């Protein structure tokens, strides 16, 4: 009977201990535990449990532990909770939970012995878990709905703008998690699911109001705000797994159902925002709809339509302008066309910027934009090809300001554009972006090169830096093959200036070599420059002296052979018309013609031709420029508008002109055919080089693969024609670079 007494005694001690603990937790006046008391409780339990006794006290103790907790909850916690509601209840709950955890901790300490041996031996639920289960059964399951509703109500109040106790909410929701031993099962089922439903309801209502009242940008602004706030909410007191689900619900209510309505809104939708360049709103639109596939597709579509519409307007304007052109000016690219070209370039730049801002990398707009602008890029307008238009635009942009001799009246708007175009680097990079859609970039490069040559040689380039900047952009986009010659040309000009300086120095120190006429020579490196024909020409003696003087200087200093291109030269001639002397700026060829009249008053066509040793075509055009054009320096007999071989010419001493120096326009030159020839030849070389490179690499290759790789190699510069590739393959077979396989003629072999 001593054992039973011991057991009862022991249990009484434990009960006392628990009561003490309870009092402490309840804040009743009670001194705290001292170490001895704790030890005593622990030992008591130890004694009870370790006795060898027919009755298994451990089980008793185990059950007792549970009993104690249940008692505590039913007598203290539950009553306190059930009489409270809403926020107050939540506070109480948090408090109770906190206390309860302490209780469990202490009890577990006291009952430690059985936790250590008995429970593992019998594979029973550990004490801490028992504690958790008690709370869950007695408190949590009873109150969870009330708690949930209270929390959600607080959330909604916060949504409506009230300040709520975030820490409280966090603590409450933590209980949902802790009650599941850290797993989120109870949290999700008992709280989150409802919370999400409530969220949907809440936002569904808001959306239906806002969609009626607000413009698209305003609505989007609100939507973004909501999403931001929900994100904060999730951060502050929800469990992290709720964030994505929560945001999804918001999107589902605010954005998905109204996608079309918002984007296609007549007065404030996507196309209006584009039209009015509202970049911020568009960016927001893209941020909001980036996860909604139908939204992004719609935005893409709207942008495409907008671009196509704007481009179509421009193209139509161009066609109208073209049909209004005077027939003799039909092939010229005038300022009106350049204005339109600029608009197209800017249009592309604007939408590329949109594309990058809104969609960033992998923009779904890149390909459609390319397709839309390809209409322009492959057709051009008003009878001019796109590459010509763009090359002319670049030429215009890179030229110096209006020349002194353009005395045509120009409309104000065109003047403004003209002035603002010069040296405008932005225009140039925008041009390069548009050029990216062009197939035949080598054709553009060749025309650009021709025009660059004219700018450089006739000193019309605004600045070397602009030229280099443009070439750099082209090189970055298309590779060095497209620009290396042009870079050489620009460098040549610098070198030529140095050579000219040394020539002038040389003349100063060798006065006897001075030819008597001021001479300036530009020395070009042949392989960089377009191929100019060097016409034979009988120069007047003054010019012959000049040529000789320079030749001696150059060939002794630099030891290279020079070929003279008189067709590119110019002269300033003092012409005496009666009392007045006017300076005429003419080409060397024109000068040669005029100088003939120093020693003869009247000359016939054939005399002029034979004295100069030129072709009929050249003579005709020269004489026309001097006698039938704007400034009639020569009188023609008969006085018709065309040159014939029976005409006679005299110096027109009656010629008057207000200005002291005039430029006689040179005969026009059509370089177009030459450009195409040069480009074709360049392409042949390029295809040859590509084929040989591929064959060297592969040694043996099937025809289709050869063609495919060839195209890949060349695509960034031009689109090779299959026929052209076949022709080059054949030529290379003849030149024994490759051969067909004996058995299978579709296979080619490299011949080392």
Partner 1 sequence: MHKLGRGHRDKVQQFMAITGSSEKAAVQALKASDWHLEGAFDIFYSQPHIRTVTDSRHLEELYNRYKDPYVDMILVDGITLLCNDLQVDPQDIVMLVVSWHMKAATMCEFSRQEFIGGLQYLGIDTIEKFRDKLSYMRSELKDEQKFREIYNFAFGWAKEKGQKSLALDTAIGMWQLLFAERHWPLVDHWCQFLQVRHNKAISRDTWSQLLEFAKTVDLQLSNYDEEGAWPYLIDEFVEYLTENGIVQRHQN
Chain positions contacting partner 1, by CB under 8 A: 703-704, 723, 726-727, 729-731, 733-735, 740, 745-746, 748
Residue placing its CB nearer to partner 1 in the complex, 342 or 728: 728
Structural contact between residues 626 and 618, judged by C-beta atoms closer than 8 angstroms = no
Helix, strand or coil, per DSSP, at residue 674: helix
Question: What does each C-alpha distance from 110 to 15, 73, 132, 643, 672 come to in angstroms?
Answer: 12, 18, 17, 126, 103
Residue placing its CB nearer to partner 1 in the complex, 79 or 708: 708
Question: What does each C-alpha distance from 525 to 257, 520, 530 come to in angstroms?
Answer: 68, 17, 10
The CB-of-732 to partner 1 minimum distance in angstroms stands at: 9
Residue placing its CB nearer to partner 1 in the complex, 712 or 730: 730
- Cα Rg for the chain, rounded, in angstroms? 47
Structural contact between residues 716 and 479, judged by C-beta atoms closer than 8 angstroms = yes
The CB-of-689 to partner 1 minimum distance in angstroms stands at: 19
List of residues 6+ apart from 706 with CB closer than 8 A: 691, 694, 695, 729, 748
Burial 403-414 (b: 16+ CB within 10 A, else e): eeeeeeeeeeee
The CB-of-729 to partner 1 minimum distance in angstroms stands at: 8
The CB-of-738 to partner 1 minimum distance in angstroms stands at: 10
Residue placing its CB nearer to partner 1 in the complex, 526 or 734: 734
The CB-of-695 to partner 1 minimum distance in angstroms stands at: 14
The CB-of-685 to partner 1 minimum distance in angstroms stands at: 18
Helix, strand or coil, per DSSP, at residue 459: coil
The CB-of-353 to partner 1 minimum distance in angstroms stands at: 41
Residue placing its CB nearer to partner 1 in the complex, 216 or 686: 686
User: Does the bond joining 638 to the residue before it have cis omega, within 30 degrees of 0?
Assistant: yes
Going by the DSSP 8-state scheme, the letter that residue 256 receives in this structure is G
The CB-of-495 to partner 1 minimum distance in angstroms stands at: 41
Residue placing its CB nearer to partner 1 in the complex, 105 or 726: 726
Helix, strand or coil, per DSSP, at residue 558: coil
The CB-of-441 to partner 1 minimum distance in angstroms stands at: 25
Residue placing its CB nearer to partner 1 in the complex, 562 or 733: 733
Task: Specify the residue for token string 């080598």.
Answer: 442
Task: Specify the residue for token string 């910027």.
Answer: 353
Structural contact between residues 49 and 57, judged by C-beta atoms closer than 8 angstroms = yes
Please list the alpha-helical segments (H only) found in 255-385. Answer: 259-263, 270-275, 279-289, 293-323, 335-359, 366-379
The CB-of-371 to partner 1 minimum distance in angstroms stands at: 25
Q: 532 is written with which tokens?
A: 């100019």
Q: Read out DSSP for 42-77?
A: HHHHHHHHHS--SS-HHHHHHHHHHHHHHHHIIIII
Residue placing its CB nearer to partner 1 in the complex, 126 or 708: 708
Round to whole Å and give the CA distance between 290 and 284.
10
Q: 526 is written with which tokens?
A: 């042949």
Structural contact between residues 50 and 113, judged by C-beta atoms closer than 8 angstroms = yes
Question: What does each C-alpha distance from 196 to 144, 148, 199, 202, 211 come to in angstroms?
Answer: 16, 12, 5, 10, 22
């Amino acid at each position: 009977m001593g054992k039973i007494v011991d057991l009862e005694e022991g249990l009484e001690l434990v009960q006392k201990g628990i009561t003490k603990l309870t009092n402490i937790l309840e804040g009743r006046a009670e001194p705290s535990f001292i170490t001895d008391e704790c030890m005593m409780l622990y030992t008591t339990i130890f004694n009870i449990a370790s006795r060898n006794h027919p009755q298994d006290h451990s089980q008793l103790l185990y059950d007792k532990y549970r009993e104690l907790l249940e008692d505590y909850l039913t007598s203290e916690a539950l009553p306190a909770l059930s009489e409270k509601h809403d926020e107050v209840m939540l506070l109480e709950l948090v408090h109770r939970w906190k206390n309860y955890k302490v209780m469990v901790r202490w009890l577990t300490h006291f009952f430690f012995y059985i936790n250590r041996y008995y429970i593992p031996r019998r594979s029973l639920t550990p004490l801490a878990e028992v504690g958790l289960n008690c709370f869950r059964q007695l408190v949590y399951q009873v109150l969870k709905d009330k708690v949930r509703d209270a929390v959600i109500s607080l959330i909604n109040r916060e949504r409506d703008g009230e300040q709520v106790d975030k820490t409280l909410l966090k603590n409450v929701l933590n209980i949902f998690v802790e009650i599941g031993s850290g797993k989120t099962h109870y949290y999700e089922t008992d709280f989150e699911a409802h919370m999400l439903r409530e969220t949907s309801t809440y936002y569904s209502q808001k959306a239906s109001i806002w969609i009626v009242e607000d413009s698209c940008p305003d609505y989007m602004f609100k939507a973004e705000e909501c999403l931001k706030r929900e994100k904060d909410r999730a951060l502050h007191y929800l469990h992290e797994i709720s964030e994505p689900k929560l945001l999804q619900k918001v999107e589902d209510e605010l954005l998905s159902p109204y996608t079309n309505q918002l984007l296609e809104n007549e007065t404030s939708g996507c196309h209006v925002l584009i039209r009015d360049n509202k970049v911020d709103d568009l960016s927001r639109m893209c941020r909001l709809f980036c996860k909604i596939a139908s939204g992004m597709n719609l935005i893409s579509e709207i942008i495409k339509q907008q671009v196509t519409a704007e481009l179509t307007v421009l193209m139509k304007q161009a066609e109208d302008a073209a049909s209004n052109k005077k027939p003799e000016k039909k092939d010229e690219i005038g300022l009106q066309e350049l204005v339109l070209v600029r608009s197209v370039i800017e249009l592309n730049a604007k939408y590329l910027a949109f594309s990058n801002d809104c969609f960033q990398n992998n923009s779904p707009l890149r390909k459609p934009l390319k397709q839309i602008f390809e209409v322009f890029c492959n057709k051009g307008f008003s009878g001019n090809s796109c590459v010509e238009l763009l090359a002319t635009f670049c030429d215009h942009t890179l030229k110096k300001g209006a020349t002194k001799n353009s005395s045509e009246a120009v409309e104000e708007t065109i003047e403004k554009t003209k002035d603002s175009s010069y040296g405008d680097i932005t225009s140039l990079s925008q041009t390069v972006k548009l050029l990216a859609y062009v197939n035949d970039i080598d054709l553009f490069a060749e025309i650009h090169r021709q025009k660059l040559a004219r700018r450089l040689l006739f000193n019309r380039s605004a600045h070397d830096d602009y030229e280099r900047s443009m070439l750099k952009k082209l090189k970055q986009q298309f590779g060095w093959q497209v620009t290396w010659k042009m870079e050489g040309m620009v460098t040549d000009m610098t070198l030529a200036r140095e050579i000219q300086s040394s020539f002038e120095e040389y003349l100063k120190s060798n006065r006897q070599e001075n030819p008597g006429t001021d001479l300036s020579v530009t020395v070009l490196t042949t392989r960089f420059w377009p191929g100019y024909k060097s016409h034979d020409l009988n120069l007047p003696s003054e010019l012959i002296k000049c040529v000789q003087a320079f030749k001696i200087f150059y060939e002794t200093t630099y030891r290279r052979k020079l070929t003279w291109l008189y067709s590119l030269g110019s002269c300033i001639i003092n012409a005496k018309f009666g009392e007045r002397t006017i300076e005429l700026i003419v080409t060397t060829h024109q000068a040669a013609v005029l100088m003939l009249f120093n020693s003869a008053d009247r000359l016939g066509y054939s005399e002029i031709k034979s004295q100069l040793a030129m072709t009929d075509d050249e003579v005709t055009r020269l004489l026309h420029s001097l006698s039938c054009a704007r400034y009639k320096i020569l009188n023609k007999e008969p006085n018709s508008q065309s040159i014939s071989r029976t005409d006679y010419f005299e110096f027109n001493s009656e010629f008057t002109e207000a200005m002291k120096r005039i430029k006689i326009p040179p005969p026009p030159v059509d370089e177009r055919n030459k450009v195409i020839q040069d480009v074709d030849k360049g392409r042949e070389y390029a295809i040859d080089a590509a084929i040989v490179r591929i064959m060297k690499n592969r040694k043996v290759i099937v025809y289709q693969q050869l063609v495919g790789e060839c195209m890949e190699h060349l695509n960034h510069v031009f689109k090779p024609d299959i026929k052209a590739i076949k022709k080059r393959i054949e030529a290379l077979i003849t030149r024994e670079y490759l051969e067909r396989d004996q058995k299978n003629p579709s296979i080619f072999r490299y011949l080392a």
